[in-house]
Amino acid sequence: MKRPSTKVVGLAIFVVALFLAGVVSFYAASSPDGLTKVSEDKGFASSQKEHATGEGPFAGYNSNFIDNDRLSGGVSGVVGVLTVLLLGTGLTYAVRRRRSDEPSNS
Amino acid sequence: MHVPDGFLDAPTSIATGAAAAVVVGVSLRRARTELDDRTAPLAGLVAAFVFATQMLTFPIGAGTSGHLLGGAIAAVLVGPWTGTLCVSVVFLVQSLLFADGGITALGTNIILMGVVTCAVGWFVFRGLQRVLPKTAAMVPIAAGIGAFVSVPVASLAFVGLYAVGGTVDIPLGSLTTAMVGVHLLIGIGEGVITFLAVGSIMAVRPDLVYGARSVLAARELEIRTSSAQALA
């Protein structure tokens, strides 16, 4: 069996990530997550302080400038995937470049 | 398990911030040894995948939901140091861009959800690889179990931090029971997602999975010995 190239595998992961964050995320559970629920039950939820970027354009995984709920969440998901991908890839390539500057050990 | 601003006091948040900075610094150095032609192109994609999957909160009953933390999956796919960098990027972006996880709690969140899950996931995974059959089929299973264990351990780590720097007095016994109980359930989801994702890549390109290298190397050795025997 011919194995898909690294490029194809990478593209597949990218498309899956975009699909999950851009489309499937609309159907995610909206109930509070584990820590939030425990903080409510045990009585320390009120110690939470307002988030410094809580008014940002994508705060709470919504695009505050889009009215349509589905589109608002989807766009924020896609923006998040692209941002993380750029930062993550940039970081790993920066780390790698420093490595290849050294006398090679390979 | 994103910790917001205010749950932990300032000294504790400063301490976790410093600890996270040190771990990320060490990871930047150590990740060089993991990043080669196979892992480097995937590292950013793994971070993006973890971000996307974290958006998919799943219900675990009793009006509570959970989502992937992702340390174990990242550690198995691209290596524990690179994995730590991947999930740290995720928590940074979530905090700054999406207001998910406090900014003063960024260090706390990187330590709890990133470093703890990467380390626990990786050590459980490697431990299981020693005792399980050395086959490729065991890689997703060991990864899934490592991921499952990593979540309640991360919730215990939160209780530990809360014991030191929680801003509201809560009986620690009941906090421990509640946190571990709920995160055992979330851990099942973490384990299933990790099993499926690692299993998918193992099915098409096992050589791209960092955690499968020892298994694949052993397999190549076996093939060589048997072909050498055939020649003899």
Identity of the amino acid at A81: V
Cα distance between residue A30 and residue B206, in whole Å:
35
pTM of the prediction? 0.92
pLDDT at B218 over 90: no
Q: What is the pLDDT of residues A74-91, one digit of tens each?
A: 999 999 999 999 999 999
Count how many pairs of residues, chain A against chain B, have C-beta atoms within 8 Å: 222
Q: What is the pLDDT of residues B37-50, one digit of tens each?
A: 778 889 999 999 99
Give the CA radius of gyration of chain B: 19
For the record, the structure tokens of B221 come out as 């050795």
A34 within a domain of the structure (yes/no): no
- Structural domain total, chain A: 1
A46 touches chain B (CB under 8 A): yes
**Residue among B98, B152, B62 nearest A40 (CA):** B62
pLDDT at B121 over 50: yes
Measured over the CA atoms of residue B91, residue B121, residue A21 and residue B200, the dihedral's sign is positive
Q: How many CB atoms lie within 10 A of CB B196?
A: 12
pLDDT at A99 over 90: no
A84 within a domain of the structure (yes/no): yes
pLDDT at B227 over 90: no
A29 within a domain of the structure (yes/no): no
Q: What is the pLDDT of residues B63-107, one digit of tens each?
A: 999 999 999 999 999 999 999 999 999 999 999 999 999 999 999
Percent of chain B at pLDDT exceeding 70? 94
Dmax of chain A from CA atoms? 58
Three-class SS of residue A30? coil
A91 within a domain of the structure (yes/no): yes
A24 touches chain B (CB under 8 A): yes
- Please answer yes or no on whether A6 and B42 come within 8 Å at the CB atom: yes
Identity of the amino acid at A104: S
Task: Give A59's DSSP letter.
Answer: G
Confidence of residue A3 (pLDDT cuts 50, 70, 90): confident
Mutant choice from B29, B55, B81 vs A, greatest count of A C-beta within 10 A: B55
pLDDT score for B229: 54
pLDDT score for B223: 58
| Helices vs. strands in chain A: H and E counts, helices first | 3, 0
Instruction: Give me the residue label for tokens 């706390």.
Output: B108
All structural domains of chain B: 10-231 (1.10.1760.20)
Dmax of chain B from CA atoms? 74
Q: What ipTM is given for this predicted complex?
A: 0.91
**Residue ranges making up the domain that contains A76:** 14-24+55-101
